[in-house]
Structure 1
Amino acid sequence: MTKLLIADDEPEVIEGISTLVDWENNGIKIVGCATNGEEALEKIRMLCPDIVLIDIKMPKLDGLQVIENAKKEGYIFESIILSGYDDFYFAQKALELRSLNYLLKPCRPKEVLDAVLKAKNVLEKEREKEALINRFIEYYNETLPILKERILNEVIFGIRSKEEIEKLFERYNIKLSSGKYCVVLAKFDIENASDTYPSSPVKQEAYTLACVNLIQEELEDFRAEVFRGRNEIVILINSDFEFDREMMDDILTKVKKIVDEKLGLKLYFGVSRWIDKIEKINSSYEQALNALELKFFADDIDILYYDDICLNKNTLLYPIDEEKAIINSLLLCQKDTIKDKVENFINSLYAINTFNKWFIKSAVLALLGSIIKVCHEKCIDLNDVVNSKVFENILKTEKKELLKASLLSFLNAVVDRIEQSENKNLIVKAAINFIEKNYNKNITLESVAKEVYVTPAYLSILFKRELKINFIDYLHKIRIQKAQELLKNQNLKTYQVANMVGFSDEKYFSQVFKKYTGLTPTQYRESLL
């Protein structure tokens, strides 16, 4: 019988729920009742109910606090919330605590019964799954021939010769004979099932073993061996004929379905070509590994074939224009445009570097390096942003969308850091810094704008807005200040000073000098004597 605890501060509600529902004939036993939160928590500790039907608003502790405290103490049960308050906060909190249902009072007996039966069904399935996992762990520990698995791994890794393979297969009753062979690798789609995949290494191992046995049972009508590889489940199929794609799809779809139903986890597969020599199984294994890599490019496909790989013979290309567009949006703090520009960058990478996952990841890391360099040059502190495991996430991800999400998250954090900077305008500061270092060269508005990743027109606007002076006046002002210092040296000719501060025409230099100082260069020098 499934044990039910009822907690409500209204005795008549408890009485109604207890008497108006035929609990016994539905396999439910009411083991206790409580009229306040503290009493409910104590009875959970004493009675260990399977299901707790509890009111939100109760004296001493409310229903959510009772559930939260009990679960923190390690008690396992399904909870159903009763409330007269149609409040989104309570519903949201109930979902956070994994309550199966949220019933508004007054509710009919049938609603209560349906909610409790749903909870009972969930409990039974969880227990069935737990029993299945425990059964397979026991089966593995007691009966699974460890040596057989090791031998099969030595075969796929190319450690054994043909003669050794044949002898070992016969000795240990491995059901593979002459004919054709195909290697299929199966992996858990962990990135799309982070909530159901266990974090404990022991449970991860248990799930893997359970999956191996489920697949072996599903393939009992075929000559196939299923075992753990390095990081994948290996399905080594032996047949007198090659399965066509339709037949292989049908087999693996059934395998995928049974694992999903029994363990709540999804698989995807990499399929090699068929071979006719047992000693070449290692090459088939490598092909299946390469097929698994296609998941990076085809997130919506779960059965991936080595034959679908088109090796790209072209030179690998980096989308430099798309990089510049991203950096430009960053410096202008244009969050609304960054997403589209990231999309363009990633799509360009995929289009010109087909099926080269590691080059794509390297290119994304190179983009991050360029952004960090630009920000460093502009005195933008990115230490906390860089330490956010963005590099690790990019290296680990196996999905295009997650790659984009990691990159976009990093870029948005960079924009936030730029916006938080104390500088009034980092672009203007970068431009001033460049002018200070290069005033003696032939620089223009266009060349400076290119250096700070903005258009000349926009840079001109920024100068007027932030410095209350146009670009050319600022450049002339810097050059004349430098010229005044140089004119103190009586050994330098006027034309030499002009060249040293970026003027190629001595006459034009004199005109500009007089405009800013009221004196010609010669008159200024004489005034110093």
Structure 2
Amino acid sequence: MYNFLVVDDEKHIRDSVASIIKSINNDNVLQADNGATALRIMEQEQIDAVILDIRMPIIDGISFLKKMREYANSRDVAVAILSGYDEFEYARQVMSYGVIDYILKPFTRGDIMKIYYKIVRKLKNRNLLDKEIADLVQRSNEIKPLIKQRFFIDLIQNNITLTEFEKQRNFLNLSIKSQPIRVALVEIDTIESELLSQSDDNEIRLFKIMDIIQNIVSEWIYCDCFSISSNIVSVVWCPANIEKDLPYFIENIELLINEMAEIYKVILNVGIGETVKNPLNLKQSYDSAFNALKYKLLYGSGQIFDTYNLPDQREKAPLSFRTEEVIEKIWLNKPEEAIKSLSDYLDSIRSEPDKYHVLSIQLLLSKLLIDCLILLEKECDNLDSFIKKQGTNLLNMNFSNQSINQVEKFFTSLIRNICKEIMNNRNDSGKNAVFKAKQIILQKYNTPINVESIAKELHYSKNYFGQLFKAETGMFVNEYINLIRIQKAKELLASKKYYLYEIANLVGFEDQQYFTRVFKKIVGVSPSEYRV
């Protein structure tokens, strides 16, 4: 049903038109005897169509049309004219206001029915168009986040022109402009965040936290935010004056970090990139922001890493940590001692992070991981099975996106699991005997031990034990003893505290010349050359 308004100063005409309309579809029909009354009705009621006389007292039909079209809610009202004046000038004027028909009095029932159906067709088409527009707007709003994300990807990949940038910016109603900008990457620390470490529905929680962060950032002046992964939001900051407004931007980030930590128990890391001249250079700022996030490996999580405040990485102290120490303790099935050795070193980084180069630490951790996996493969020969059980692709492990606490937690778990795997594998008596022999060699390498003394200590015959050791290690017992002695000798040579004859004695060689021959055979250079 539609709401009709019949406006005519002659009552019998109004009644006649209203009666015909109601008889067709029982629509609601209101009446007015002049334009002023009609305008008041339209202010109070939602009118769909008006059938209007031209000449009326107070406000005539043409004046009514002028005023009615000023109302926003009446611009789509369908209007038809009933007039007793067959004058072209009247018809021309009313048609300029969107009138759909002009019928002369006296009229017949058929004339009113024609007007009615013409009006109804217009109203139906209008409603259909309104629905299509509403559906289009809804679909547009539904895909807008995807368009926004694609827009940001195009920016950081340099796949957008200035013209296209302006077009997309206006469509998405963004703050970003063609002026200097900086990118900040807000990363949710999924390992250290308490909220995300105590539940099985982490994906849902993470999605909600991301939504909260984006809602907060969207209220910041001069900022646009883009979701670039499941736990990172990119904030593009485009203020009027970067240097003057920077303290307010930093303050907003600090408040965000504190709010997420205190209220939601979520730890954030924020990397801020360098300033670039315009959005078409955004990749440069994005890359430097991403690089700044890597410094959580030195300084820990829950901080702001501003590109311009990062320490100079050109001159750093050499790394003093030897992964061999950890590997040896793992091999000896002393996981807690291995973990403590690594933790002590990580604590030294925490206490003086400025001394270390972040890339060097990444390489050291990668080496430690590789050494652990090599040991596991040698001892158990089931590396693939072990990796599958860990639920993590250890071969593609990337320490550049982890904090120092995440690294410690990762290696603590890995070391314990490797020790457990190795010990399970050593239940085999032969392997266990070789393992015990290696322990004896490590403990007594500086004494006159040999295959016979070791076999006797383990209650094996000399020949059988020699064969067993060779089968498990690919080496003869004496070869392995010499290998361990030379490894220890290399450590003493590096310290430069002892003469060569002293080192030979300290590692179990009674003859310095024999020591030199064995050293060169294993290492490829003489002890003197190695020391240099």
Q: State which structure, 1 or 2, has the greater radius of gyration over its C-alpha atoms.
A: 2
